[in-house]
């Protein structure tokens, strides 16, 4: 049994006449509770929450145990996020070894489908089964199936086990997102969220680089096997230092009573039907938007039927959640629809969805622009994206310090980030032909916008929901942002493909068009006059993509402005959470 963790006390929050802990502006500060009859009060933004009797001050881990816990969570998050991009530079090596070249994209898609589908499910189930049990299950699942992926002998097996690996990766992302604001007092939220966001961004950046290095110096199997030792270390550290009943650390034992966690009473509270409906609807929608415009046309029966069925299942999910959110229902809903009655929660979810498309389009398509228009190699294109990739983590650190040390309300940080995002994308879309040095400046502006916007969402969310809803709200924000990014990439791809299909036939033969579709490096082999004309067509197409993304950025700005309150929320005002 682990020794008692070092803990700190945080001040007791103010109480109202009923003895419940409430924050100015309507934030309820209460521990996680199961669905039981309680007195209710209504927040000033329309969200209904529960009142409970006054309790002892919230206590937090500190000292070396806290640092080990943060390190283990960051290591876990680094591994799961790395897997979303590290495989991209290994696909050729994988298909050379396993065959089935035409199935190569499924190695990426299968991971993304389960990675996206389980985020909210993990978050809600952790409210019932406990944070520690779910984070350990997720890391174990991810580590075991990483080893399996590095040991298989054919492409079909790899695709199947990548999907199972994605379930673990999704759990890691979801649980780290839920746990991070519960580790420290509210005035330190910005710091820890900035650190975790920095790890997430860096892992996405390093993925293709590490994948290329592994393929150049070793076997592609180490892309997956690399997770094994790190996963074991992360599992051991979390099992040792994390209290079994986290975030409640009054009972400091680190040993989990599995019987109490997997009891009949706990299992009856799980919304299994809602989880299945959400999972299959998310999987079908992600599949449709991943494959539309590439493997299948938008008019394909496969795409149309998948979108329709996915949409019907999602509507069914909403209907079911309304049923199980009744006071007498045995299950606790995966996503309580009452949260959407809050103007602030609804706005944050819309902002998260609309932030995804511009962010993913910039990260994925700008390197393609540098190759097609500027004639750069893949490596050179990656280095030209560094201003954006480096500005984003710097912005997360700045935003975290503004929110914590200077107690700046996240409303201003989010609105500033939305303004920078809109400005950067607008300027980048104005580049007529080759990028030039001005593009570096535009990337820095975009990077600051994305970094500040994404971290502000995570800082803001715990301030507008009760503690009992915090995990599912954080999971929903994350899942909807990832889903928005997937849809945005599909829209961008369609815009570019339609433009190229209408403009290139007047300049090139079908054979040349086919070779360019296989590799944009073929543009460099064309005669000078034709090459410049083709590059201009690509430049116009990429600019059209960014202009479409400007509409999403405008929506981000509008809904960020809608978060205005007469008494803005900040870390200085949130106490005893």
For the chain, the average pLDDT equals 79
> Binning pLDDT at 50, 70 and 90, where does residue 259 land?
low
Distance CA 237, CA 258 (A): 19
What percent of the chain clears pLDDT 70, i.e. is strictly above it? 82
How far apart CA 451 and CA 441 sit, in angstroms, is 15
Q: Distance between CA 113 and CA 170 in Å, rounded?
A: 10
How much is the average pLDDT of 446-473?
A: 84
Identify which of 573, 458, 567 has the alpha carbon closest to the alpha carbon of residue 187. Answer: 573
Lowest mean pLDDT among 22-26, 54-58, 320-324, 385-389: 22-26
Q: What integer pLDDT is reported at residue 73 of this predicted model?
A: 92
Tokens matching residue 550: 């400007």
Maximum mean pLDDT: which of 39-43, 59-63, 457-461, 558-562: 558-562
For residues 124-138, one letter each, b for 16 or more C-beta atoms within 10 angstroms of the residue's C-beta and e for the rest, the string is: bbbbbbbbbbbbbbb
* Weakest mean pLDDT among 119-128, 186-195, 319-328, 383-392: 186-195
Q: How sure is the predictor about 555, in pLDDT bands with cuts at 50, 70 and 90?
A: very high
pLDDT of residue 33: 41
What's the whole-number mean pLDDT along residues 169-192?
A: 82
What pLDDT is attached to residue 444? 93
pLDDT at 195 over 70: yes
Model confidence, pTM: 0.76
pLDDT classification of 572: cutoffs 50, 70, 90 = low
Q: pLDDT band at residue 100, thresholds of 50, 70 and 90?
A: low
State the CB neighbour count (10 A cutoff) for residue 330. 11
Q: Does 454 score more than 70 pLDDT?
A: yes
The tokens for 403 are 């929110």
Nearest to 455 by CA among 197, 182, 188: 197
- The Cα 540–Cα 498 span in angstroms is 12
pLDDT over 90 for what percent of the chain?
20
Does residue 232 carry a pLDDT above 80? yes
| pLDDT-based confidence at residue 347 (cuts at 50, 70, 90) | very high
Cα–Cα dist 181/198, whole Å: 15
3-state secondary structure of 447: helix
**What's residue 9's pLDDT?**
42
- How confident is residue 470, by pLDDT bands cut at 50, 70 and 90? confident
Decide if pLDDT at 81 tops 70.
yes
Q: Please say whether the beta carbons of 80 and 202 come within 8 A.
A: no
Most confidently predicted of 26-30, 259-263, 450-454: 450-454
77 burial level (CB within 10 Å; 0-12, 13-18, 19+): buried
Terminal CA-CA length for the chain: 28
Give pLDDT tens digits for 487-497.
888 888 888 88
Residue 566 has pLDDT above 80, yes or no: yes
For range 59-70, the mean pLDDT? 82
pLDDT digits (tens, 9 = 90+) for 16-30: 434 434 333 334 333
Which residues partner with 15 through β-bridges? 21
Q: Whose CA is closest to 107, among 119, 94, 120?
A: 94
What is the structure's pLDDT at 550? Answer: 94
Residues 6 or more apart whose CB falls under 8 angstroms from that of 555 comprise 350, 354
Is the pLDDT confidence value at 271 over 90?
Answer: no
How far is residue 394's CA from residue 445's CA, in Å, rounded to a whole number? 12
pLDDT confidence of residue 99: 73
- Give the other-Cβ count within 10 Å of 218's Cβ: 12
**Element containing residue 41 per DSSP (H, E):** strand 40-42
pLDDT over 60 (residue 300): yes
Confidence label for 449 from pLDDT (cuts 50, 70 and 90) = very high
9 phi and psi, to 5 degrees? -100, 145
Tell whether the model's pLDDT for residue 291 goes beyond 60: yes
On whether the CB atoms of residues 230 and 147 are closer than 8 A, the answer is no
485 to 286, 351, 481, 482: CA distances (angstroms)? 10, 12, 6, 5
* Confidence check: pLDDT of 306 > 80: yes
34 pLDDT above the threshold of 50: no
Highest mean pLDDT among 277-291, 374-388, 542-556: 542-556
463 has pLDDT over 80 = yes
Judge whether 132 and 244 are in contact, CB under 8 Å.
Answer: yes
Report the pLDDT value the prediction gives residue 576, as an integer from 0 to 100. 43
Give the pLDDT score at 57.
59
Cα–Cα distance for residue pair 235/249, rounded to 1 Å: 19
Q: Say yes or no to pLDDT of 436 above 70.
A: yes
Residue 553: predicted pLDDT: 95
DSSP helix/strand/coil, 135: helix
Per-residue pLDDT band at 480 (split at 50, 70, 90): confident
Between helices 386-404 and 410-428, what is the axis angle to 10°? 160
Overall average pLDDT of the 469-479 stretch: 82
Q: CA 67 to CA 70: how far, in whole Å? A: 5
Helix (H, G, I), strand (E, B) or coil at 60: strand
Q: Largest alpha-carbon pair distance within the chain?
A: 81
Q: How many residues does the chain have?
A: 577
Phi, then psi, of 21 in degrees rounded to 5? -85, 120
């Amino acid at each position: 049994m682990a020794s008692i963790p070092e803990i700190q006390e945080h001040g007791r929050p103010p109480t109202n006449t009923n003895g419940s802990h409430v924050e100015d502006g309507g934030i309820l500060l209460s521990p996680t509770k199961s669905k039981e009859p309680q007195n209710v009060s209504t927040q000033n933004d329309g969200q209904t929450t529960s009142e409970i009797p006054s309790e002892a001050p919230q206590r937090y881990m500190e000292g070396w145990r806290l640092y080990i816990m943060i390190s283990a969570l960051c290591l876990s998050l680094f591994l799961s996020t790395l897997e979303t991009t590290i495989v991209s530079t290994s696909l050729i090596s994988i298909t050379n070894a396993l065959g089935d070249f035409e199935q190569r994209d499924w190695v990426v898609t299968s991971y993304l489908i389960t990675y996206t589908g389980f985020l909210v499910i993990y978050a809600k189930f952790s409210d019932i089964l406990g944070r520690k049990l779910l984070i350990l299950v997720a890391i174990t699942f991810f580590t075991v199936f990483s080893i399996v992926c590095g040991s298989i002998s054919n492409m079909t097996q790899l695709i199947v086990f990548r999907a199972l690996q994605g379930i673990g990766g999704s759990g890691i992302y979801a649980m780290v997102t839920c746990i991070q604001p519960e580790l420290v007092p509210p005035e330190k939220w910005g710091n820890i969220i900035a650190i975790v966001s920095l790890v997430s961004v860096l892992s996405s950046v390093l993925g293709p680089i590490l994948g290329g290095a592994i393929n150049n110096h070793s076997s592609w199997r180490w892309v997956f096997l690399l997770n094994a030792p790190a996963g074991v270390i992360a599992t051991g550290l979390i099992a040792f230092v994390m209290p079994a009943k986290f975030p409640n650390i009054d009972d400091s034992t680190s040993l989990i009573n599995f019987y109490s966690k997997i009891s009949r009473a706990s299992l009856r509270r799980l919304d299994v039907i809602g989880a299945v409906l959400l999972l299959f609807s998310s999987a079908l929608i992600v599949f449709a938007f991943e494959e539309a415009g590439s493997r299948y046309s938008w008019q394909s029966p496969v795409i149309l039927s998948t979108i329709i069925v996915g949409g019907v299942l999602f509507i069914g999910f909403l209907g079911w959640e309304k049923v199980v959110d009744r006071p007498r229902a045995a299950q606790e809903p995966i996503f309580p629809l009452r949260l959407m009655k809050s103007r602030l929660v609804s706005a944050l979810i819309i902002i998260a969805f609309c932030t995804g498309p511009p962010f993913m389009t910039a990260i994925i398509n700008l390197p393609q622009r540098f190759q097609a228009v500027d004639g750069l190699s893949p490596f050179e294109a990656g280095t030209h994206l560094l201003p954006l990739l480096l500005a984003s983590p710097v912005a997360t650190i700045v935003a975290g310090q503004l929110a914590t040390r200077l107690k700046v309300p996240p409303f201003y940080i989010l609105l500033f980030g939305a303004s920078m995002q809109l400005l950067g994308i607008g300027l980048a879309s104005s580049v007529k032909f080759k990028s030039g040095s001005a593009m570096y400046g535009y990337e820095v502006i975009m990077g600051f916008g994305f970094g500040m916007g994404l971290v502000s969402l995570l800082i803001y969310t715990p301030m507008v929901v009760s503690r009992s809803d915090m995990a599912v709200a954080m999971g929903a924000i994350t899942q909807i942002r990832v889903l928005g990014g997937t849809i945005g990439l599909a829209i961008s791809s369609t815009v570019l493909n339609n433009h190229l299909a209408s403009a290139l036939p007047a300049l090139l033969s079908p054979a040349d068009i086919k070779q360019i579709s296989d590799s944009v490096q073929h543009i460099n082999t064309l005669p000078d006059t034709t090459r410049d004309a083709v590059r201009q067509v690509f430049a116009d197409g990429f600019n059209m993509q960014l202009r479409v993304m400007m509409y999403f950025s405008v929506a981000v700005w509008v809904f960020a402005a809608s978060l205005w309150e007469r008494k803005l929320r900040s870390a200085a005002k949130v106490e005893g959470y």
